[in-house]
Chain A
């Protein structure tokens, strides 16, 4: 039986929780794969190697920078989960700041910390077979990827804009009909356009789409009343490092 391991790096646990969140499908998943390492679900741990490893979180410490190599070596297929693992996450805000200054502001004893100056995606350290984007990931994409691997086929993980999915589900465009700021045109699809479906603009948690046009998007955001600072902050949330180029073009 296919063995599955779930690994955590710097993250909030929300993405691996998406696996437990597959309530209706969880028994079917458990029937098809042997969960060999998933500390959030079970203390029982089986030794590697593993057929599939799901990796959550970003690399932020020297120890984690070592550990990810051991996981890669023990995994046939390695899939990263979420904005932290695929783009460095919110914690990548440190990449353009002084981590020592941050640490001294937050911790009473920063000398206890052993942290890197940057938060980097898993793919910056080891080869990654598939990336599931989002904060959190989409449960449907996780199941799609697992079922695809079980069937020996390629998972359907589109890289086009969120707008494709908005229109496919008949959402009314919040930019055109309401003048709301929305990152949908430059953001990778996969969430099913969930935020616009509830009448709010996309905040870009899946990171950039395949060919984002930063300057054109900046014009949209300005027309929606955003200042340059607002625009910078909008991009610097969940996938700050992945959007750096798009946002940089904007300013």
Chain B
């Protein structure tokens, strides 16, 4: 079976089989699961751990799990953990060095990942985010070996989005709610009548896995139901980015008085960048042990909302909150295009939901657009 083959139908038992088949092929399955009041991505042992019957109600600065009667498995959105956590881990060792009693020093490189990940049930915005990380971390002259070692050989089972949250705006960013690329297997959850999934492969590896699952031929009605579910999802999305080229908007509003308004609400806590599935910035630090014979060079997620992020000789360049927020959104929506030829934002809405202060990237962009022509306010350093 190839990607050109007709889609198949699998039942809810097919998800259990999918886990088994992936595990037999050596994958560590990472998927959504309900924990501590949210649907998070985590390593899962079985399909039983999928968030069956849970969806998320989100608003700016707010996320609540909601019980649902229909047993939907992939009705979650905008959870705090994205695939970034697994392929670009929050903490990684770049190298370590050991000094022997005779004084000779040996070094070892990055820790090799022990696992090969299969992402099951991630949404199209998250697959798009993996594409962004691929470009940023692996697509340049100097691919990041920690990223490529985790990303190469991953298997992606995308769940088309049929239940967007109030914070979603993938339609503005062209990343969803349907899945078009970047996956091995695409599932569309169908809840009309029998609970079932339309499954189509997006790669030879996906076709091979799909062939190993219990499935049956999809009928015209199933295909129509899947199309309708995705179409309805697109129609249900209420948040939008301004309908204009965002890099130009960012460039034109550098001195907007609106930055001071955002700064009055922004906590500089860094949550937006941490939950963003494409924010990739890191800092490095050295640690040593008490004997003095062992040293490690570590890499940690960093955030442009921290003061040290812009520290150069003599001090931090971006001391004001306004300048830090401006840096973040200008890179995300503007200069990312110049740097990588694509948008840094995939419209997943995580930064909106998980900002404790409820700062909304779509509303800030709209406010910036509206502020054009107002007297310049600017962001002090």
Contacts and interface: CB of A to CB of B under 8 A. Distances in A.
B201 interface: no
A217 B265 CA distance: 9
A32 B287 contact: no
A186 B267 contact: yes
A227 B192 CA distance: 47
B64 A167 contact: no
A147 B289 contact: yes
B61 interface: yes
Interface string B39-62: 010000000000000000000011
Contacts of B319: 211
A182 B354 CA distance: 14
B7 to A, nearest CB: 34
B290 A150 contact: yes
Given A144-B287, A151-B288, A176-B63, A164 B266 contact: no
Contacts of A175: 61, 356
A25 B288 CA distance: 13
A177 B62 CA distance: 6
Interface in A198-224: 199, 209-213, 215-217, 219-220
A158 interface: yes
A29 interface: yes
Contacts of B81: 170
Contacts of A44: none
B300 interface: yes
Interface residues of B, number: 48
Contacts of A167: 80, 90, 270-271, 274-275, 301
A172 B274 CA distance: 12
Contact of A150 (B264, B270, B292): B292
Interface string B56-86: 0000011111000000000000001100010
- Contact-size category for A: 35 or more
Contacts of A156: 285-287
B376 to A, nearest CB: 23
A172 B265 CA distance: 22
Contact of B356 (A150, A153, A185, A210): A185
A160 B308 contact: yes
A215 B91 CA distance: 32
The secondary structure that dominates the A interface is helix
A185 B300 contact: no
Given A156-B287, A159-B308, A168-B91, A176 B353 contact: yes
Interface string A171-203: 111011111001011100000000000010000
A153 B269 CA distance: 27
Nearest to A214: B267
B306 A176 contact: no
A160 B267 CA distance: 11
A164 B274 contact: yes
B274 A168 contact: yes
A104 to B, nearest CB: 42
Given A172-B38, A215-B264, A220 B357 contact: yes
Nearest to B59: A176
A220 to B, nearest CB: 6
B37 interface: yes
A28 interface: yes
A151 B288 CA distance: 7
Interface of A: 25, 28-29, 31-32, 143-144, 146-148, 150-151, 153, 156, 158-161, 163-164, 167-173, 175-179, 182, 184-186, 199, 209-213, 215-217, 219-220
Interface of B: 35-38, 40, 61-65, 80-81, 85, 90-91, 264-271, 274-275, 285-292, 295, 300-301, 303, 305-308, 319, 321, 353-357
13 contacts: A25-B290, A31-B291, A147-B288, A158-B306, A167-B90, A167-B271, A168-B91, A168-B274, A170-B81, A172-B37, A177-B80, A211-B319, A216-B264
Given A151-B295, A164-B303, 14 more contacts: A146-B290, A147-B288, A147-B290, A156-B285, A159-B308, A163-B271, A168-B91, A171-B36, A172-B80, A173-B271, A186-B267, A210-B306, A213-B321, A217-B267
